[in-house]
Every structure is written in C-alpha cells, then in structure tokens.
Amino acid sequence: MQKKENEYNNGCCDIASDSNCSSTTYGKITLVGTGPGNIKYLTKAAVEAIEECSVIIGYSTYLKQISTMLREDQEKLHFNMKDEITRCEAAINKSMEGERVVIVSGGDAGIYGMSGLLLELLEKKSLIGKIPLDFISGVPAFCSAACSVGAPIMNDFCVISLSNLLTPWEEIEKRLDFASKADFVIIIYNPKSAKRKDELTAAKEILLKNINKTRPAAIVKAASRPDEEIVITTLEHIDEFSLVSMNTTIIIGNSTTFVKDFYMITRRGYGNKYQL
C-alpha cells in the first residue's frame, strides 16, 4: 500500500471528513534518528528535517547533542529518559495544533527507539493515515561501534538488548542461548545501568555454554563521540571493564572472527572461494 502523498499539503494534512465533521489540520511528525551522538554523523535528511520543524521533542541528552543546530524560534520540549509515552503524546498534541514536529531518537529511531511507540499510540487513537508521518534513518550504534574496530560484522549477526525493563529476562536468556548456538556475531546493547549491574555476567555465562572463552569481543563506549573508549578482549573478560555502561556496545565475534592489531575482523568467506 502506498502512502497518499497527495493528501499531504506542505507537511500538513487537512482532514475535513471526520465523523463529527470537524476540520483539523495536522502538522507532520518526523521521527529523526540522530546517530551515535555526534552531529558529524547526522544524515543530510535528518539535518533538513530538524531545520524545517517548528517543534522539536526528545530526551534531554539527545536534544543537547544537537543544540548548536537549533534556532531560537523553534520550540524545544525536553523530556526525561522514561517519559517516552508523554513525548509521543506531546508530539501528537502539537501536530493537532498544526505544528511541524520532529521527535529525535538516538541511533536509528526504529531500533529500540521512538518510532514503534509513536505508531502504536497513533494506532490506538485511530490516527494512522490522518497525521502525516516521516521516518528518517540514523546511524545505529552497532554500526558506529563496528566501525571503531574495523569489520566485525561481516556476516550474519544479531543484536540483543540486556534491558529487562520491557522484555522479560527469560526471553533475553533464550535469545542469548539460541544466538550463541547459531554462530551469529552477537551485539549486546544496554549491557549495564545504575540499576542493572549483574545482567552482563549472567549473559556471559549463557554464551560461554556454546562459545569458546577466547572468542574475540570488542567493547566500545561512546562510539563516534570525542570521548570514545575501546577495549578489545575475549568473551571470558567482557564483564570486567569499567567502561561498560549505558553508552556501551559489546560485539562478540563468530567462529571466524580474529583480531589483528587494533582491528577485529570477521571473515566473509572470500578465502573459501577465492585465493586471497
């Protein structure tokens, strides 16, 4: 099914056929992925959407990361970390006032980000198809972290978040077990927070049942930011470093991954097919 672009007039959508015959001009809501947290890595489309909006909404940390791009005439709505539902509701209300809204979300907004929640809320409120929407991809943290150590994701991979705030821990355990049995490169998000300190060790113990303890692992904190830190280690040690935090991504190689100097390299398979 195609988006009905012709219904959208300069980022607004005039709905005059609601059952109560009221007419509302909805402003467009754009979900913008801001990448790893350094404006150098924003896409051109993200920059344009931010420039064009009249209201910008986001977690304070993400808004601070792009503060130098914002103008005085733009309304900035800062929110705390766990206020995601309120953020979406604020965006919907502003859209109903005809404002052109941007919601920023770190990395890509569609990966553990704000896009899905906004769509779920719009679906509940029967507003899908009424409010014009746009989704602008951002560089996901696992891509930034991978670039910091070379080419660790050259074959099939999976991302597993250790946050059990919205996903039950038993499911996370199951995914770690299956992923390690299937020889994926495994990327771990949300390895630790102020409240969740033991999950990484628990995850490591599950992985060690199926993966050799000497398997290369990269720990990347604040990837692509000026304060980036990197450790290349092995699976058995991933829970021993103080740089592991909410801003850290861990990449555990597959059975073909090796380390040379500062680089972590997963074989794509060229060596089996061609003389390298």
- 172: amino acid identity, one letter: I
Size of residue set near ligand SAH by CB under 6 A = 24
Q: Give the separation between CA 273 and CA 276, rounded to whole angstroms.
A: 9
Q: Give the separation between CA 234 and CA 219, rounded to whole angstroms.
A: 10
Is residue 113 part of the contact set for ligand SAH (CB under 6 A)?
A: yes
Binder of ligand SAH out of 26, 62, 112, 184 (CB under 6 A): 112
- 194: amino acid identity, one letter: A
Binder of ligand SAH out of 27, 58, 106, 253 (CB under 6 A): 106
- Report the candidate in 52, 9, 59 with the shortest Cα–Cα distance to residue 34: 59
SS3 117: helix
- Report the candidate in 77, 80, 97, 91 with the shortest Cα–Cα distance to residue 26: 97
- How far apart are CB 248 and ligand SAH at their closest, in Å? 5
Q: Which is nearer to ligand SAH, 27 or 35 (CB)?
A: 35
- How far apart are CB 7 and ligand SAH at their closest, in Å? 29
Binder of ligand SAH out of 249, 254, 257, 266 (CB under 6 A): 249
Q: Which of residues 41-100 bind ligand SAH (CB under 6 A)?
A: none
For 200-215, give one letter per residue: b (16+ CB within 10 A) or e: beebbebbeeebeeeb
SS3 31: strand
Is residue 137 part of the contact set for ligand SAH (CB under 6 A)?
A: no
Is residue 37 part of the contact set for ligand SAH (CB under 6 A)?
A: yes
For the chain, the residue count is 276
- Contact segment (CB under 6 A) with ligand SAH among 24-32, 107-115, 123-131, 196-204 equals 107-115
Is residue 111 part of the contact set for ligand SAH (CB under 6 A)?
A: yes
Q: Could you list the residues that contact ligand SAH (CB under 6 A)?
A: 36-37, 106-108, 111-113, 140-142, 144-145, 189-190, 220, 222-225, 246-249
